[in-house]
Structure 1
Amino acid sequence: MRWAQAGPTYGAEIMTTLAPLREAPLSTELDWPDRMTPFTPFDRDIQADPIEHYRWLRANAPIVRAGDPAAPLYIVSRFADVTEGLRDATQFHSQLPGTTTPPGFLLNLDPPDHTRLRKAASSAFSPRAVAALEPRIIELVRARWMYFLDAGRGDAMAEFASPLTIAVISSVLGVPVEHSEQMRDWTTQMIDYLGVLLRGVPDDGSADAGPYRALTGYMNNVLDAAMQSPQDDVVGNIARLRLDGVLTAEETTGFVTILFSAGHETTTLLTGNCIDFLCDHPEWLEFLRQPDGPGQFLNEMLRYRPPVHRLTRFTHEDASLAGYRIPAGSSVRFLIGSANRDEAAFADPDVFDPLRSNSAHAGFGYGMHMCMGNWLARLEVRTILETIGQTVRRIERDTTIPRVPLTGGAFATVGLAALGVRVERL
């Protein structure tokens, strides 16, 4: 059996008292155009450039089953459905049934534990602590960019974005920068391990708990040192929560570990997406020289090419969304990368327009799990864009260095693993 059209007219509400809930079709049963393969989040070609698949899903199958037919993922692609699902913590849970979330890992917690921990942890980000970060971030950005600019060319990911974001989050958390490469490797391996442990990602045999234990152990030592004389900074404030008994030692360690890993991975990809776009559209350099240009450019890039493309939730009981039944025990992927390109939510969604009237995108997530560290990412990448605008006359691809899309894994993030760039000083 093949499906031609699935899903209600966008925006129409189907009352379950008037019509039975429908079963979402399998991706492989849909009548895909000849040029397109059925959507699966594990296809590396789709991971490299998923936008056309997103567009087709929104128009034809807003909720679809993909992946392993025996245990399919429910894929949600429209803005209204994605944001509704992410707001609904009653039907769509962050914790995989039958698992125990490591203490402090906010993204994988449900209320009431999530509510308690987020409220306590958010108090660590005082206005004074946040404001104190800006001079150091400006210093780090300018030093790393001028090094890249002086060279005139290079891999913008390996030689600029990655070492910079590691240096920034290390500075924020009081982590010695000389250990940053080791910690970056631990982070990558830890994410793979937690994907299997907490997200239901298929285990290919490479998942290893060792890097997770190494990184959390390192962060526990950072907090132990901070507790001796807590400063009015992010780590100092989190150390006080441990000293005051507001959070346990395990919770503060887990929270700082998540801050470190999320604080450089997604920001690295976002930085690369911005630079990649400027290589294709150098005319936007002039826009970055305007007072509000970098902030407006960044906000639109978060809609247009966000680094995070999907958020995962789980159903503990039978659920419904947009007229479809989602059985208990299902894994649901909310495609924020697709939601941000929804024609029903954004005029001309495939056009990059920093001055658009509707900028209420889901680039930093939605609902109670909206990214707590978005303030740091915005400050860091806005500073990068300001610095590029102030110093660059010309930017273009360096074709001697391959442009390599990030692929593999659970299809949580979209960006570049390598990006050759040539720059000329203003």
Structure 2
Amino acid sequence: MTRGQLQVNPAFSLAVRVPTTAVERVRRVVAEAPGAAACLVDHPRDDSHPRDDSHSDGDTGFTVVTVEADGADTLNWLDATLRARLGTDLLDVTDLAFSVAAGGKLGLLPLARIVTDLDIAQLDADADRRVVTHLAANPRAADRYTGRARRVALLSDGTAVLDLEPIAASTALPALESQALLLHRASGLDVIPMPVAAPRAADVVSAISLLAPGFGATVLVHTDLARVAVIRDGLADAGLVVLDAVNDGLAVAAAAAVLSTLRAQGTQPPAARVVIVDPSRGGELAGLLVAAGVGDITLYDPVRYGIAALHQLTAEAGAVDLVIDLIGLAAPPTTVQVLRTRPQTPPRFAAATTAPRPLHALPGLLTAALAAHRPPTTAARLAAARALSDLAASGDLLPPLDHPDLTTKIAAAAAAALPADG
């Protein structure tokens, strides 16, 4: 079976190593799973060759089969059943999420040559002294003669990791490493995951200030949005480039999706009626929609008013053009279009053309901010949102995350609206 035939989630996957003669037994177990499950190849193949659902482990007579499930319950059943049914034929079974996390998800590569004696001499104290002395007299040259201009601190205090309660910052490291790797892939920048043990927002402000000499920018992720506001206020006069995954990522992508939706409806922003459910989760989203010229915006608090009042608000035909659901609980009448986006649980990458992810906008905005030596402004975010909407193919709200022009187009649009550092 393939992903297209079953609603499996590749995030729940096992790599099962068995003798080739036992592959059919693995398939039978997968077929009996209580939920959706599938056997797939565990490495990319040339599309000109037929796909199979296993591959031989060299010439040893062993095969590695990748098994994907629809969630944790099915995955746990598969793990236990494979172990019970195959016995000694089960040479190894690995949960791929833990396998990928083991040892970290990214590392450093040297840019300077270290092959010859001449190469190594440029890393010695005499060479360093000459460059350091020059920078002491010309501090603005640091970005030219160091890697700081492309180095980004990806920082979290562990207060908003996925849907979890606040956790120890070190526990957030696997999620930080994933985001660092994806942000590096999209931007080409050196993104360093940095969990910080910071009981107070003021401690995060101090940490960013202390780290600033070595980094061109700091990006706050997996950090409570209320804390993010306090942190950014605390650094407002420091002249540092600080972004965050909600205001400079999700909010911009969501605004782009709104613009695409209104365009598809044939509704001009000044005539649009939009409801934002639980607006406190959206950061700059409401402000971006105001800046985009959306004429009628209702900020709806589901905790205070409940969901029934929202249904009444949207029940009348034509009363609302779009509901933006930031909490995941609203269920207005089916006649009303709903854009669902939860900051802590972004959609799977496969759904990125219909729902926003921070990676739609964050790499481009970060690139522009680094070049300008200043954080994004509302104007830069709005320019990025409009560029994102323009990149979307017909019928899509957003471009795919692997769109070849995504980062460059967003960066160019944001840079044009972001004055450079004089």
Return the TM-score normalized by structure 2. Answer: 0.27
Return the TM-score normalized by structure 1. Answer: 0.27
Higher Rg? 2
RCO comparison, higher one (Cα < 8 Å, 6+): 1
- More strand by proportion, 1 or 2? 2
